[in-house]
Chain A
Amino acid sequence: MILANGILRPDEDLPQVLAGLEEEIVSTLSRPPLEPGVVTGACGALLDRLDRGELDELIARYSSPGLLAELAEYRSFLRPEALEARLARETGGLSGPRPFGRTEAYPLGVLLHIAAGNLDGLPAYTALEGLLTGNLNLVKLPSGGSGLSLALLKLLADTEPRLAPYLYVFPIPSRDRASLQTLARLADGIVTWGGDVAVTGLRAMAPAGCRLIEWGHRLSFAYLSGEPDPDDLAGLARHIAATDGLLCSSCQVIYLDTDRREALESFARSFLPLLEQAVRTARPDPGRAALGTLHGWEHRLELAADGAEDRVFPGRGCSLTVCGGRELELSPLYGNVLVKGLPRERLVRALAPQRGRLQTAGLLCPAEERAELTSLLARAGVNRITAPGSMSLPLPGEAHDGEYPLRRYLRAVDIADP
């Protein structure tokens, strides 16, 4: 289904919608800009409906059972006060009096959002960021999505009809380059979430003068030094099991501040039961459990086929692989994680190849070393430093991959006194 100006239309209408889009956009942009209060108010109204249980059925229809719990984590970020605070923080100082007159913040205009499919509801989230900054949003849904985002955005437009002209949602497959090109031509900014292929593909489509805002895939890891506390380790295991390794903030490699192979293997032996426990709790159904087992087994066979020295510690529905190298790389996912040795003196060097892709480090170390290791990780290029158990939990007021997104969706308009 297509969502255009608050109305749901069948996929077949795509050519008509695209044909009339430029006129509709021009007419919307000619009107006074969207006030942030309208957007935050609509979010508040939606959250109230969520609290009253009115959306439970919708969410159950479109998404995994865990989504309500996840939403609970995010809900405080979607409250009107929180959104307003975020706007103030991220765009603070952009507008105000200047020696020549004044500067005002204006929306970029039209944002084309290309959202990745690894997180349910992401298209709706990125569109919300666009709305908050007053932009008109064209959203390309990822293929194979659940339909949750479309439903949420339709709900938002129903709740606050003034938002309707600012929201267009298209289920265009990535191979339909002609339609994507049409959307890209209309955009002042293209917001891409996804892997290198998606990002490079979009760069080629963006017209000159179009701002590219790329939220590429990131790699995250845990860094452990000293004797870790079992509760913290259990938290790390829960994080690994809950995210399946699929998020940018998911731990791919557990680094230990050591060079001793025996220490790595002994860690793997003691951590495996915690991971098994966490995996079992996170996926009670055989289908999900099998996914972890299958990926772990496949990884083990690949290592065997290559004659690699890495040693696999297989668990029930999960595994740990103690590796020889130090590089940060993608794990086999779904509860299968890599364990590597990385003495702190070598940290900046070892992470250098992935410097531009680093996101979260879950740091576990004695309190007196925390400051030193935090600074070391930040110098290596890490943008988020958390406890290992909360690597994927949102932080109130956090930046996104080292940047303030809302600021990038705005432009500063300088107005000289006559």
Chain B
Amino acid sequence: MLERQKLFWGPGLYDQARSRERFLAAMRANCAYHIRRCPPYRAMARALDFSPEQLRTEEDLAKIPPVPTLFYKRRALFSMPPRRMAMRVTSSGTSGKFSQVGFDWGCVLAEVPMVLRLGRRHGLISPVPAHYVVLGYQPHRSNRTGVTRTMYGLTFFAPPLSRFYALRWRDGAYVPDLEGAARELARLSRSPFPTRIVGFPSYLWFGLKEMEKLGLSVRLPRGSRILLAGGWKQHYAQEVDKRLLYALARKVLGVEEEAVHEFFGAVEHPIFYNACPRHHFHIPAFSRVIIRDPETLEPLPMGRVGLVNLITPLINATPVPSVMTDDLGILSPGEDCGCGISTPCLTILGRVGAREIQTCAAGAAQLLGRGEGF
């Protein structure tokens, strides 16, 4: 069972060639584990003639049954009893339904070093204490959403002096307070310590627009950062050009584009995707991405638009080795980015069924600059 730890503790954060054998070995072990322990997963694998020994090359990863996130929303699958799990986390369930994913202790043991190493690599970890303004949910025991935990986790990258939450738990419900967050930012601009804003991009966007409208503008101290996680949620229609967001952050908060970091991940695929300085999501060594044909689900070559299939051996508690999101996306060669990381870049174009996604492969290139990854 050490294949997984070998992958997550091993060298090469963004080295697919170097991690290939370890990744395949960990995937074989992970799939075998779920097939052994989770009868419904075993039945699916059998129906699709899949067995872990088939995973010999990277191309073989496409043979692992890609299970839609929709499936996990309809039924919870587990490969171990709850008492052996470290925790159970849910997706935010924008449309009223949410997935449940269990996290085992081995997964935590693999995930923590991954997050720390990637955080360091992307310059997020600092010994200088910081104040946090979280444009997201205050943690509460009734809130099991992955994004709440992620945002809370991000408040430890620099020692926390204080935390302000824009969505606070009051008398059994979340109460939004964007105005309070704006006041807090104004207060923190006079602090000698930097501020870190952690939040949903949509909340940041609406908050900044509101501050701009009211004529408010502050200069946050040097070293302040903005960390964006959790996607645009139900605000796809309002998804903005990222450049507008950066410009607004500079204008209203005095935070430069380089200090804005974005993350991508899913409860069913909790790999810590960090945007590079050029705002691209390069695939880390702990994950593989297959883009599949929207009509046939066949794997597509690089540069074609399709359904995003995310693969990782991270979790034993829930069978999520290969997860099909309901996002359309595209892969592009890592070298084209120019940031120095060579693994391919994943760009999320938007939710399946959304009316605005009407492009085909030919038009995809022009979308590369817009909205990805939120």
Q: Tell yes or no: B183 within 8 A of A by CB.
A: no
Residues of A within 8 A of B43 (CB): 304-307
Residues of A within 8 A of B208 (CB): none
On chain A, which size bracket covers the interface? 20 to 34
Q: Which of A64, A285, A298 is the one whose CB lies under 8 Å from B357? A: A285
Q: Contacts A288-B353, A304-B44 hold; do A294 and B70 have CB atoms under 8 A apart?
A: yes
Distance A305 CA – B328 CA, assembled complex (angstroms): 26
Q: Mark A266-308, 1 if CB is under 8 A from B, else 0.
A: 0000000000000000001111111101110110011011110
For window 265-310 of B, CB contacts with A under 8 Å fall at: 294-297, 305-307
Distance A295 CA – B294 CA, assembled complex (angstroms): 11
Q: Mark B58-87, 1 if CB is under 8 A from A, else 0.
A: 000000011110110011000000000000
Residues of A within 8 A of B352 (CB): 287, 290-291, 294
Q: Contacts A64-B355, A287-B352, A294-B326 hold; do A306 and B294 have CB atoms under 8 A apart?
A: no
Q: Tell yes or no: B41 within 8 A of A by CB.
A: yes
Distance A390 CA – B360 CA, assembled complex (angstroms): 31
Evaluate contact between B44 and A305: CB separation under 8 angstroms: yes
Q: Contacts A293-B294, A301-B65, A301-B67 hold; do A286 and B44 have CB atoms under 8 A apart?
A: no
Evaluate contact between A316 and B296: CB separation under 8 angstroms: yes
Q: Tell yes or no: A144 within 8 A of B by CB.
A: yes
Evaluate contact between A289 and B294: CB separation under 8 angstroms: yes
User: Smallest distance from the beta carbon of A321 to chain B beta carbons, Å?
Assistant: 14
Choose among A287, A288, A294, A302 the residue with the greatest number of B CB atoms under 10 Å from its CB.
A287
Distance A64 CA – B46 CA, assembled complex (angstroms): 41
Q: Which of B294, B350, B355 is the one whose CB lies under 8 Å from A317? A: B294
Evaluate contact between B71 and A301: CB separation under 8 angstroms: yes
Q: Contacts A64-B355, A286-B360, A302-B74 hold; do A297 and B44 have CB atoms under 8 A apart?
A: no
Q: Tell yes or no: B354 within 8 A of A by CB.
A: yes
Chain B: interface residue total (CB-CB under 8 A): 36
For window 124-166 of A, CB contacts with B under 8 Å fall at: 144
Evaluate contact between B70 and A295: CB separation under 8 angstroms: yes
User: Smallest distance from the beta carbon of A310 to chain B beta carbons, Å?
Assistant: 11
Q: Tell yes or no: B366 within 8 A of A by CB.
A: no
Evaluate contact between A317 and B71: CB separation under 8 angstroms: no
Distance A284 CA – B305 CA, assembled complex (angstroms): 14
Distance A298 CA – B67 CA, assembled complex (angstroms): 7
Distance A295 CA – B353 CA, assembled complex (angstroms): 11
Q: Contacts A287-B352, A290-B294, A294-B324 hold; do A301 and B68 have CB atoms under 8 A apart?
A: yes
Majority DSSP secondary structure for residues of A touching B = helix
For window 302-359 of A, CB contacts with B under 8 Å fall at: 302, 304-307, 316-317
Residues of B within 8 A of A290 (CB): 294-295, 306-307, 326, 328, 352-353
Distance A291 CA – B352 CA, assembled complex (angstroms): 6
Distance A135 CA – B306 CA, assembled complex (angstroms): 49
Distance A172 CA – B354 CA, assembled complex (angstroms): 23
For window 80-94 of A, CB contacts with B under 8 Å fall at: none
Distance A306 CA – B46 CA, assembled complex (angstroms): 12
Residues of B within 8 A of A304 (CB): 43-44, 46-48
Distance A317 CA – B295 CA, assembled complex (angstroms): 5
Distance A304 CA – B45 CA, assembled complex (angstroms): 8
Choose among A289, A294, A304 the residue with the greatest number of B CB atoms under 10 Å from its CB.
A294
Residues of A within 8 A of B48 (CB): 304
Distance A114 CA – B234 CA, assembled complex (angstroms): 21
Choose among A64, A293, A295, A306 the residue with the greatest number of B CB atoms under 10 Å from its CB.
A293
Evaluate contact between B353 and A287: CB separation under 8 angstroms: yes
Q: Contacts A293-B307, A298-B70, A317-B295 hold; do A305 and B40 have CB atoms under 8 A apart?
A: yes
Residues of B within 8 A of A302 (CB): 71, 74-75
Q: Tell yes or no: B358 within 8 A of A by CB.
A: yes
Q: Tell yes or no: B359 within 8 A of A by CB.
A: yes
Q: Contacts A293-B294, A301-B67, A301-B68 hold; do A285 and B307 have CB atoms under 8 A apart?
A: no
Closest 7 A/B residue pairs (Cβ): A304-B47, A287-B357, A290-B294, A305-B40, A291-B353, A316-B295, A285-B358
Given pairs A286-B305, A290-B352, A298-B70, 4 additional interface contacts (CB within 8 A): A287-B352, A290-B294, A293-B296, A306-B40
Q: Which residues of A contact B (CB under 8 A)?
A: 64, 144, 284-291, 293-295, 297-298, 301-302, 304-307, 316-317
Would you list 11 pairs from A and B whose C-beta atoms are within 8 A, ordered by A residue?
Answer: A286-B294, A287-B357, A290-B326, A291-B353, A294-B70, A294-B307, A298-B70, A301-B65, A302-B75, A304-B44, A306-B40
